[in-house]
Structure 1
Amino acid sequence: MPLLFDSDYETLHKAGVNFEEEEGARFLIFKSFPLPKGIYLADAKPANAVDVLYEIPQNYNSSGGDMFWVHPRLHRADGKPIPNTGGPGSNEDSRTHKATVFCRWSRHWHKNAWKPKVDDVRTIMDRISWAFKYPDARRS
């Protein structure tokens, strides 16, 4: 059973988004998701893109979810910590897909931020982009 609606897949294909799915775990993985320039390091090198794992909720699209996971782990170029993130490991709420460990980013959105049957995969990508652009911010 597909994770998304046909219109979501059309959006992804029209936008040229490279993605893969793991239906059993309900993982949607955005490959080489763009990062804002100059903010992040991965493996001590400037990072311009990262793979993002997103768990599609069972009740999609009544709910949009509130966390995502990244690989490789990101660090701020300015040395500040990134709030509400975890590293690899069982105590860090990481996710594993095809032997690759993804590190958690928790971003709880205002309870009314998701509009059922209006919001879609574009909203998910916009939320992820927003979180990368404003790593210290909380949306309310």
Structure 2
Amino acid sequence: MRRDFRLPEWDEQHLNGRGLPWETIVDGKQRCLLVHDWALPEGYNHPKVSALLLIPSAYPEAALDMVYFRPDLQRSDGKKIPAVSNHSVAGEPWQRWSRHYTSANPWRVGVDDISTHLTLVDHWLAREFDR
């Protein structure tokens, strides 16, 4: 696994504790965290995917945003997943899920980090079936 840049120690400890393969890559000016073998809730077209987060240079003071999946996700029931689009990151096709922090649920500097964002990603994946 590549480690093109280091994350804060607490993030690396969290990622290692998840037991999933992960890597950091630099693609041009983008810093990317890839987490592989991400288990999905039932109802998607794949049991596992890779998840990608763009890591701002000012992180952890700067908020994380969205998530990208590879391969693309679809609901098994055929319903469309809203606010997704295809993008190339690190020369590979990724499906971007446009999900953001809001004024009601803001990024909290000193509290939020990769672990809280990944928990939110799990919430987004599960909540998709509440629509």
Secondary structure of the residue aligned to 2:85 is coil
Q: In the alignment, does 2:127 pair up with 1:134?
A: yes
Alpha-carbon distance in structure 1 between the residues aligned to 2:108 and 2:6: 18
How far the C-alpha of 1:14 sits from its partner, in A, is 2.0
Indicate the residue corresponding to 2:74 in structure 1.
75
**2:12 partner amino acid:** Y
Tell me how far apart the structure 2 counterparts of residues 62 and 126 of structure 1 sit (CA, whole Å): 18
Deviation >6 Å, runs of 4+: none
With normalisation by structure 2, the TM-score equals 0.84
Aligned length: 125
| Farther off after superposition, 99-108 or 109-118 | 109-118
* Alignment counterpart, residue 31 of structure 1, candidates 36, 39, 54: 36
TM-score, structure 1 as length reference: 0.79
Please tell me the residue identity of whatever aligns with 1:58: S
**Percent identical across equivalent pairs?**
30
Whether the 8 Å contact between 2:54 and 2:65 is mirrored in structure 1 is no
User: Offset at 1:66?
Assistant: 2.0
Displacement of 1:63 in angstroms is: 2.7
Give 2:16's match in structure 1, choosing from 9, 13, 17.
Answer: 13
Structure 1 gaps, min length 5: 42-46, 88-93
2:25 alignment counterpart? 22
Bigger shift: residues 78-87 or 18-27: 18-27
Structure 2 gap ranges (5+): none
1:137 deviates by 6.9
